[in-house]
């Protein structure tokens, strides 16, 4: 059976189904955990300085599936790469699909309803993941500069139909609200800063060495001049005596 519509899983009627024991598998509540379909949570250029943040906010309590998050990420990334340039924005998904979805075994065709009879409350098997979101929570955030604000709003408006809930778009200037940089980017930034500091120290060393050499040259020239003056004075004295 193919993927069912998002509206089938959007409600939060039951308790979150999340327990997967990594070290002690006997304590698992869930036998097999489905993989996450959201491939990346950070996209774009995080090292640039931005002036505005654009947030995609949900206006109701809802469950959002991981494939839906991946769909909006791809749509926004593609649109902004085309209209703003891949180095002029940074995108971050702000929620994580921790809740495991369950589904009952179903068959298709005439008389297939007999498969579901015989159990009043069938438990179901894990079929996917979803993020549980409260009203007013940020789903996705975009960092852009002022000249690309319209492109960012258009991209988020195009992503709206991929979500099964009411969505709001909010523009602000609180850049720090998006959180810290990704670990890989932090390491790269620290490495670049270290290389830059080392290069600066080498340049300063070379400059000091050059100054010392110039001083030595000036001192040698001064000594030569003094020796020359002394020689000329001696010659003058000998000439007077004669």
Least Cα distance to 104 among 128, 123, 119 occurs for: 123
Q: Is residue 19 situated within a structural domain?
A: no
Question: Same structural domain for residues 53 and 149?
Answer: yes
Tell me the per-residue pLDDT of 132-165, one tens digit each, with 9 for 90 and over: 999 999 999 999 999 999 999 999 999 888 998 8
For residue 142, the domain's CATH number is 3.90.1170.10
Show the CA angle centred on residue 181, arms to residues 200 and 190, nearest 5°.
20
Contact 175, 89 (CB under 8 A): no
Q: Write down the pTM of the prediction.
A: 0.71
DSSP 8-state symbol, 100: E
β-partners of residue 138 are 57
Question: Same structural domain for residues 96 and 143?
Answer: yes
Domain with 236, as residue range(s), is 181-242
Question: Same structural domain for residues 55 and 148?
Answer: yes
Tell me the per-residue pLDDT of 181-200, one tens digit each, with 9 for 90 and over: 777 777 777 787 888 888 88
Sign of CA dihedral 123, 124, 129, 131: negative
For the chain, give the mean pLDDT: 82
Rounded CA-CA distance 89/43 in Å is: 8
Question: Same structural domain for residues 212 and 151?
Answer: no
Question: Same structural domain for residues 67 and 91?
Answer: yes
Sign of CA dihedral 163, 58, 35, 25: negative
pLDDT of residue 75: 93
Per-residue pLDDT tens, the chain, 242 aa: give them. Answer: 578 888 888 888 888 888 777 788 777 777 778 888 988 899 988 888 899 999 999 999 999 999 999 999 999 999 999 999 889 999 999 999 999 988 876 666 665 555 555 556 677 788 889 999 999 999 999 999 999 999 999 999 998 889 988 999 999 998 888 888 777 777 777 787 888 888 888 888 887 776 666 666 666 666 666 666 666 666 666 665 55
Q: Is residue 115 situated within a structural domain?
A: no
């Amino acid at each position: 059976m193919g993927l069912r519509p998002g509206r089938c899983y959007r409600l939060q009627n039951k308790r979150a189904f999340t327990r997967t024991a990594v070290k002690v598998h006997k304590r698992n509540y869930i036998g097999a955990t489905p993989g996450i379909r959201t491939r990346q949570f950070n996209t774009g250029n995080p090292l640039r300085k931005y002036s505005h943040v654009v947030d995609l906010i949900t206006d109701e309590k809802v469950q959002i599936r991981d494939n839906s998050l991946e769909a909006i990420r791809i749509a926004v990334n593609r649109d902004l790469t085309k209209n703003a340039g891949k180095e002029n924005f940074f995108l971050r998904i702000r929620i994580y699909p921790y809740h495991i979805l369950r589904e009952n075994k179903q068959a298709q065709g005439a008389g297939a309803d007999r498969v579901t009879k015989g159990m009043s409350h069938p438990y179901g098997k894990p079929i996917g993941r979803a993020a549980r979101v409260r009203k007013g929570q940020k789903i996705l955030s975009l960092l852009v500069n002022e000249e690309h604000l319209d492109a960012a709003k258009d991209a988020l408006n195009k992503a709206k139909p991929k979500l099964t809930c009411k969505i709001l778009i909010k523009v602000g200037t609180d850049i720090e609200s998006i959180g810290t940089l990704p670990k890989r980017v932090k390491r790269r930034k620290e490495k670049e800063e270290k290389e830059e500091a080392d290069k600066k120290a080498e340049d300063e060393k070379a400059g000091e060495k050059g100054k010392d050499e110039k001083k030595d040259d000036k001192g040698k020239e001064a000594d030569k001049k003094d020796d020359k003056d002394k020689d000329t004075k001696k010659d003058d004295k000998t000439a007077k005596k004669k």
